[in-house]
Amino acid sequence: MIAIDFETFYSKDYSIKTLGADAYCTHEEFDPYMVALYGEGIDYVGPTDKAPWDKLDANQQLVAHNASFDSVVFKNAQRIGQIPSHLNPVWSCSANLCVYIQAPRNLKGAAEQMLGVAPDKTVRDKMKGKTIADLSEEELKSLLEYARFDAIYCHQLWEKYEKYWPIEEQQIARHTMTSGQRGVYVNLNKLVADIKRLEKKKKQAEKLIPWLEETNTVASLKLLKEYCEEQGIDVPTSTNQNDADCLAWEDKYGKDYPVVGALRDWRKSNRIMRLLETIQLRLRPDNTLPFNLKYFGAAATGRWSGDAGLNMQNLPRGKVFDVDVRSLFIPRPGKKFIVCDLAQIEPRCLAWIVNDTKLLHYVKKGIDIYTAHAMTTMGCAKKSDVTKETRQLAKIRVLGLGYGCGAARFRDLAASWGFHMDEIKARSIVQNYRFSNPKVTNFWEECQRDMYADMGRTFDVTLPNGRVIRYFNVAKKDGQLVASTTRGEHPRYWYGGKICENIVQATARDVFTDCYRRVVDAGYEVVWTVHDELVAEVDESDTTAREEIERIMSTAPSWMADCPVASEAYETNKYTK
């Protein structure tokens, strides 16, 4: 294994953060001016085009501490003739290795925690807007040393800890990277039309904002406060569109004060338009959009997360001013999407973990888990007794109360699903759930008790597939448990329900990962994943893919074969869910 680390030019207006890896590396300013290579028989740092590429095998195993970036740099350095074109390396990522073993993702933090060294990253920071020609002899020496040690630390991390990273996880991490680099096809005509539609909506809203012409700004809480005081109305504590107080303020004053609605419309249209402009900026000439998902983006649970300024895990749902962002993503010509989602995987995993045999019995018989919950804990003797309203409340109970949610939080959660109640009613429902689900509440207590037992040490939780979640430096603060799930990071508060949530979400993630790997092994092209859902791309003429992918995704892993895993797949010519 050879470790590799590139140094590339960047500036205030030209950066990977703005452009994403692909557009950054195909930009006219792209300059991979330095590379460091370190491993058996090789220790080089210097100009990329002078590196001893002849020492590498055609399919050399390379490891980088951000392989999703370095692999794109490598490919484009080949494009401009700095690296021989016959090289087709197999990439691994030491950053992904580190997050799997719950070390920091960044190289500085990983090296400090896992190697006991403290890299100085200020050298790289000082290179902003500079080329090699701008450096003094001493500055160049420092940069060469910095790049060399980055490759050395990357190699040491890999050599020391790779054995703790299962090969199946390595394969999924690599597929996550390569599928994002392959990209997803975008409906360009719709993208352009949607941007124009949102621009028009923004301009309409701006005409109603009284301070815009004088201040040339819209989103100013200070100016909004002055306006509210002049009008004699309440001042919102926040203008965040997801904030409950902001939403209540908009509902109260939106009809009588046009500026309130205008601000809301401006924020919504501006947020979506910025997302679409990012997509447009990063779009390749063939109308495909490369993106990056963070493997093990969520510490401990291991779930994926968005990355690099474009979160494909959290695309807006539904239409905003007649703009549906999700439907921009379409199959390549001659293809169709198969979208497959694990059904209620978290509550199924929770029931299996706590051994709720009665609930699992009904689910195995084909009764959906929310109806089964109503039958086992809400006084419904048979399936026909479960009304539509009862099932909806059961769904809210299952999704909201399995991890120790309190009455006030449950009331707000229920309201977000259109089920309104006062706090007294919410408290009654919470108490009823806890009384009628003793196996769940006992598991909360067990989790908390076990963490307490490891006070001053590391609390280990072994998941059903053998993966271990570690909670480092368990301590007590303000009468509550605290621990860290990433080595060296600040501790956070824990309680039984929260630990339970971690375990269930991690187990659900491992179930999904197992299904994902089996779908890929079956030869299907998985374009990307969204939580418990994957999007595959198949030939339009394929009449068996939907059924086959659904069958694979409905088969539980061997390590929890008696858990009733289920999925639902559908064909579509655009991403909609």
Residue that is written with structure tokens 């991490």 in the block: 173
The helix or strand, by DSSP H or E, that contains position 412, with its residue range, turns out to be: helix 407-416
Candidates 457, 516, 498, 416; CA nearest to 171 is 516
Which pLDDT score is estimated for 249? 83
Strand ranges, E, within 295-428: 305-306, 329-330, 335-342
What would the pLDDT profile of 474-483 be if each residue is shown by its tens digit? 999 999 999 9
The single-letter code of the amino acid at 234 is D
Q: What is the DSSP letter of 320?
A: B
Candidates 286, 239, 288; CA nearest to 259 is 239
User: 3-state class of 211 per DSSP?
Assistant: coil
Which pLDDT score is estimated for 109? 96
Q: In this structure, what token pair is assigned to residue 15? A: 């950066």
Which pLDDT score is estimated for 107? 96
Q: Which residues of the chain have pLDDT under 50?
A: none
CB within 8 Å of 151: residues ≥ 6 apart: 3, 4, 5, 36, 37, 38, 45
Residue that is written with structure tokens 């197999």 in the block: 90
What would the pLDDT profile of 13-53 be if each residue is shown by its tens digit? 999 988 999 999 999 999 999 999 999 999 999 999 999 99
Which pLDDT score is estimated for 244? 67
CB within 8 Å of 267: residues ≥ 6 apart: 219, 239, 241
CB-CB neighbours of 405 under 10 Å: 20
Q: In this structure, what token pair is assigned to residue 384? A: 């026909």
Q: In this structure, what token pair is assigned to residue 490? A: 């600040």
- Nearest-5° Cα angle at 237, 231 to 240: 110
With both helix axes pointing from N to C terminus, report the angle between 67-79 and 16-26 in degrees, rounded to the nearest 10: 30
Q: In this structure, what token pair is assigned to residue 111? A: 């090296």
d(CA 222, CA 112): 43
The alpha carbons of the chain give a radius of gyration, in whole angstroms, of 26
Q: What is the DSSP letter of 165?
A: S
Candidates 180, 564, 181, 547; CA nearest to 340 is 547
Q: Please indicate, yes or no, whether the overall pTM of this predicted structure exceeds 0.85.
A: yes
Q: In this structure, what token pair is assigned to residue 129? A: 């807007």
User: 3-state class of 435 per DSSP?
Assistant: helix
Which residue intervals of 232-282 are DSSP H helices? 244-253, 258-282
d(CA 138, CA 243): 52
Candidates 259, 263, 207; CA nearest to 238 is 263
Which pLDDT score is estimated for 242? 66
CA diameter of the chain: 82
Q: In this structure, what token pair is assigned to residue 439? A: 């196996």
d(CA 531, CA 482): 27
User: 3-state class of 333 per DSSP?
Assistant: coil
The single-letter code of the amino acid at 40 is E
